[in-house]
Structures are given as structure tokens and as C-alpha cells.
């Protein structure tokens, strides 16, 4: 219990979880109004805040399941997107394996960004990490992985191709012969996967063939100006809320 409530020792956290009546958060109203919520936590404070962050996200997802069950087709319309960037560093969300496996059928789309599969195994355990990986409909692998086990597993998923190998030999009398054989080689060896350049990834989508994709930076998007404006607005609102909490 002490560990779960340790984050409340921070005055800013305490103020955030004890708002006035006019600022209370209603998950059902949030989903009904198609709201957008940014949940931020610093790496140095994520340890103490993890139980609160997990409880908050779990409350939203559980409400989303209830709303979906009461909706036509048992799906949320519009759907809910959970963009969980660095989720293993922030908090090991207990329901993530189940969300990845079943959430899409109820209109809950989960985007989990992890540093590596080893990080997932450390946070959720071996079997749950495998469930998260298997349940991901779309997988994007970037360069930089250093664990051979994970690189080799991905290389196997990419498949193999036939490679013609030519062998030349020379007899004692000086006669020469050439033979050609076929061998199976990986489409993309582990060493190539590890050294994928920045901005390049490998896309695995259901039963489709693997695709090498170029990922553009967000400032290159058509709506980059609006996104930048929205980000500044969020930062200003966060700073104002922190200042208000400090003044109490």
C-alpha cells in the first residue's frame, strides 16, 4: 500500500488527483465527447507515479469496454486510440497483453512503443511479452537492437530466398569445370537488421510480405503547423496547472 501511494508525497501529484468538483474527470463523458488526453511523466518520477498512471489508464480502458458492450455491434464508434509511447518505462500496464489481443474487436486500438522485446519480457514476463508481440497486427522494427535472440527471431520471420552459388574447380590436367547450386539465405540477416539507418524500418503486416519503409519526421507532415500549435497549447496548460497547484 505504501508503494502504491508513494506518488502522493509529491504536492503536484496530490493536487492533480484531488481536483475541484468542476475539474473532475469523467471517463464516460471523455469517451462520449471524443476527447484527447495527454498523460505525461518524467523518467525519474515514473517509478513512484507508475501505480497512479496504470490505474488511470485502466479506468479509461475498462470504461471503454463497458461503453463498447452497450454500443451497436459491441464496438466503440468512433474508436479509442491508446498511443502508449515508452510504456515499459512509464508503467507496466497490467492489461496490455489483453488489450493487444482483444481490444481491436471492441474499437480500442492500442499502439505500444517499446525499446526492445527484452524490455517487454522484463516488465511483463516471458509469456505476456510473447502475447504482446504475437497480438500486434502491425509490427514495425527499427534499427539499433543488439540482442541476437530477438534479431534472429525477426530475421526468421522475414523469410529466406534462393541464392545461386557458382563453384569453379580445376583438375590435375588443367581442365576447368563450373557448377551452380542453390542455397537458402535470409532475406535480411540479423546484422543488417541491427544497422538499419535512422528513419528506416521493417514493416510486418498480417500475412503480407515484409516491407522496408521510410519513416518521415513529423515536421514533414501537412498538419505539422497545427500539431506544433497544439503541443505548445498543451505545454502552456500543463505549466499553468503546475503553477496553480504550487500556489495552493
Which sequence spans correspond to the domains of the chain?
A: 6-136, 160-215
Residue whose C-alpha is closest to residue 201's, from 191, 214, 220, 189: 214
Closest CA to 56 of 89, 84, 97: 84
Instruction: Evaluate whether 31 touches 64 at the Cβ level (below 8 Å).
Output: yes
User: Alpha-carbon distance 68 to 108, whole Å?
Assistant: 9
Q: How far apart are CA 76 and CA 56, in angstroms?
A: 19
Q: List the beta bridge partners of residue 80.
A: 108
Q: What size, in residues, is the chain?
A: 248
d(CA 30, CA 78): 12
CATH number of 6-136: 3.40.50.300
For cell 481536483, name the residue: 19
pLDDT tens for the 248 residues of the chain, in order: 676 677 777 777 777 777 777 777 889 988 988 888 888 776 665 666 777 888 888 999 999 999 999 888 888 888 999 999 888 887 788 888 888 888 888 899 999 998 888 888 888 888 988 889 988 889 999 988 878 888 888 888 888 888 788 788 887 777 788 878 888 888 888 888 888 898 899 999 888 888 899 988 878 888 888 888 887 887 787 777 767 655 65
Amino acid at each position: 500500500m505504501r508503494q502504491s501511494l508513494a506518488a502522493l508525497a509529491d504536492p503536484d501529484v496530490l493536487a492533480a488527483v484531488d481536483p475541484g468538483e468542476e475539474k473532475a474527470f469523467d471517463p464516460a463523458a471523455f469517451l462520449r465527447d471524443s476527447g484527447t488526453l495527454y498523460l505525461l511523466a518524467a523518467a525519474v518520477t515514473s517509478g513512484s507515479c507508475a501505480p497512479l498512471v496504470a490505474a488511470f489508464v485502466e479506468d479509461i480502458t475498462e470504461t471503454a469496454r463497458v461503453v463498447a458492450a452497450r454500443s451497436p455491434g459491441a464496438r466503440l464508434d468512433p474508436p479509442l486510440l491508446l498511443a502508449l509511447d515508452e510504456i515499459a518505462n512509464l508503467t507496466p500496464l497490467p492489461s496490455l497483453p489483453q488489450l493487444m489481443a482483444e481490444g481491436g474487436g471492441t474499437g480500442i486500438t492500442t499502439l505500444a512503443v517499446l525499446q526492445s522485446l527484452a524490455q517487454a519480457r522484463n516488465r511483463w514476463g516471458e509469456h505476456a511479452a510473447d502475447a504482446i508481440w504475437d497480438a500486434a497486427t502491425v509490427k514495425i522494427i527499427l534499427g539499433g537492437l543488439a540482442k541476437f535472440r530477438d534479431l534472429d527471431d525477426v530475421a526468421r520471420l522475414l523469410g529466406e530466398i534462393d541464392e545461386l552459388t557458382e563453384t569453379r574447380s580445376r583438375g590435375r590436367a588443367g581442365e576447368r569445370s563450373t557448377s551452380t547450386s542453390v542455397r537458402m539465405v535470409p532475406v535480411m540477416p540479423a546484422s543488417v537488421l541491427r544497422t538499419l539507418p535512422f528513419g528506416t524500418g521493417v514493416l510486418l503486416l498480417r500475412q503480407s510480405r515484409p516491407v522496408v519503409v521510410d519513416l518521415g519526421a513529423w515536421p514533414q507532415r501537412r498538419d505539422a503547423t497545427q500539431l506544433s500549435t497544439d503541443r505548445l497549447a498543451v505545454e502552456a496548460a500543463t505549466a499553468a496547472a503546475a503553477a496553480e497547484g504550487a500556489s495552493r
